[in-house]
Structure 1
């Protein structure tokens, strides 16, 4: 998929600079950035060809969503791709603005990028409802420069209704978060390795220290593990099962904390400074870790599914998580 990923990543590199990310986090409008993304056509990658899209699978766009994570894009790109595909499949008119996913009908849930969204696709438990972001009273979380918001409502969300995927929105959102984490993990691993080779202390690069080399090796292993988990989660398309989502998100959420911690340990004090780009990624990784179920939530789902099936573990894994 290099022929798809390369132009997408080049566009993000030019459009979503660290300065642009900081500006949006500081309250600047993201309208121009969104218009460029929409004009590229990539937002309709998952929409069927007969509906005017590219007809790609979730597995096909996994590298694109990972690239969004690697660039700390301050907009719900993957969420909008999924929402537009579900709306087109249902024959519902697709709005032009950014769309976020509220994966349950419970009021008060925290949704990433809700502060820069125009619409919300809400899973009510029996169907999906597309509603305006203003109708759900978004409240900032108070986390420094976070674009997530707590969505609050008193009655059932009102808006355009469409069919609900068999397992709902949460498994889909979970594998999206895993893909975002995989991209950010790859970027942080590269940043940490480069810094370790450039930072000289006591006459030699700190990357020559055996203890630090061990930390970087484990970091690289985690980065590959979350990439594989994300790919497995996306392999089945938009009909994501709970077990597959549990494998992808529990792995990604656990690794997100370890990779972020190692990256900051390698960089030392400079890593937390506002001027340095590391914190743009590590802050998001912790946000994505908790969004749509942390590793604790998905480990419970995974354990429950395993205990409910009398099959042997190897056979069960092969059946539930096809490669």
Structure 2
């Protein structure tokens, strides 16, 4: 029910034109209001607190849809931030919330959050500062956009006296949730890119027939489809089970596997589209640019593969296949 309602809002309001407008400075007030006023930011909030009380598993197709529509607002992060504040005495603030899995103190004791997702738009940020969960007011920070065309990512600097509200020692949960969110977004966006590429290959003709009929093109499409399917399965694993926050190893596997697929999926898509694929007028670049950005956001595949590898090495008598089965079974039992 929630998925269908959100899909309709995204179809009606989150158009490619809207995505481009946000990239040019628009705050997409109508889209944000539709999702906020519809109560969709409280999907993980318990029913006793007037929320929907959804499980992570039920939330996965919604986060997948956010990626499939290239949603340019921190809606997924806002949903997760409210869930992370579930046991805190402080009520979640109004406005756009985003998550950051890493922050550090500077020499002048100011706070820096590098490459904050939706840092150009967010009103507040829930950040992990060496295990401590901090709620920060983004209006008090200096924002430096990352310089990538159309990106809503920015590095934020808070002065020493900015303070922030400490919400306890759940900072690592912010990183895990954000990694899982990015994995779902990548999986959803790659599904869209695959669909666009298949449609183009069926419509584009060369030598009297659709280019999708050529064996060389079919081979590339099959590789692309394989990567997209594997990424969706990996991302879904991070949201399996009945836990309120994704577990470390499933989230690590999800972020690593989806990030690994990005270079191959985007390269094949642009190769098959040819020169038209890099034009600003074509919607393909709205997704492939985000895929490359989400690949490195909250840690690339190298960082998360190291987490998984260390966990495997700590169990010297367990084979790799047994390790994966154990993780999967623990999440779906």
Could you tell me the TM-score, scaled by structure 2's length? Answer: 0.92
Residue range with higher mean Cα deviation, 149-158 or 252-261: 149-158
Q: Is the 8 A contact 2:125 2:136 kept in 1?
A: yes
Determine the C-alpha separation between the residues in 1 that align with 2:196 and 2:317.
Answer: 43
Determine the C-alpha separation between the residues in 1 that align with 2:161 and 2:202.
Answer: 55
Determine the C-alpha separation between the residues in 1 that align with 2:234 and 2:275.
Answer: 31
Q: Is the 8 A contact 2:68 2:191 kept in 1?
A: yes
Correspondence 1:219 to 2:217: no
Runs of 4+ in 1 over 6 A off after TM superposition: none
Match of 1:13 among 11, 19, 37: 11
Correspondence 1:310 to 2:316: yes
Q: Is the 8 A contact 1:121 1:130 kept in 2?
A: yes
- Offset at 1:125? 2.2
Match of 1:57 in 2: 55
Q: Deviations over 1:227-262 (max 9, x none)?
A: 110110111443322211111011000112211111
Determine the C-alpha separation between the residues in 2 that align with 1:29 and 1:241.
Answer: 33
**Alpha carbons of 1:85 and 1:289: their partners in 2 closer, same or farther (altered >3 Å)?**
same
Correspondence 1:228 to 2:233: yes
Determine the C-alpha separation between the residues in 2 that align with 1:90 and 1:144.
Answer: 37
Match of 1:129 in 2: 134
- Offset at 1:33? 1.9
Q: Is the 8 A contact 2:133 2:166 kept in 1?
A: yes
Residue range with higher mean Cα deviation, 308-317 or 171-180: 308-317
Match of 2:326 in 1: 319
Match of 2:267 in 1: 261
Residue range with higher mean Cα deviation, 115-124 or 311-320: 311-320
Match of 1:77 in 2: 75
Determine the C-alpha separation between the residues in 2 that align with 1:223 and 1:27.
Answer: 31
Residue range with higher mean Cα deviation, 159-168 or 203-212: 159-168
Correspondence 1:162 to 2:167: yes
Which secondary structure does the structure 2 equivalent of 1:168 belong to? helix
Residue range with higher mean Cα deviation, 192-201 or 98-107: 98-107
Determine the C-alpha separation between the residues in 1 that align with 2:81 and 2:157.
Answer: 20
Match of 2:103 in 1: 105
RMSD over aligned Cα atoms: 1.7
Correspondence 1:288 to 2:294: yes
Match of 2:109 in 1: none
Determine the C-alpha separation between the residues in 1 that align with 2:204 and 2:100.
Answer: 43
Residue range with higher mean Cα deviation, 153-162 or 36-45: 153-162
Match of 1:87 in 2: 85
Q: Is the 8 A contact 1:129 1:158 kept in 2?
A: no
- Offset at 1:273? 0.8
Determine the C-alpha separation between the residues in 2 that align with 1:126 and 1:156.
Answer: 21
Correspondence 1:44 to 2:49: no
Residue range with higher mean Cα deviation, 63-72 or 312-321: 312-321
Q: Deviations over 1:25-45 (max 9, x none)?
A: 011232222111101211110
The unaligned stretches of length 5 or more in structure 1 are none
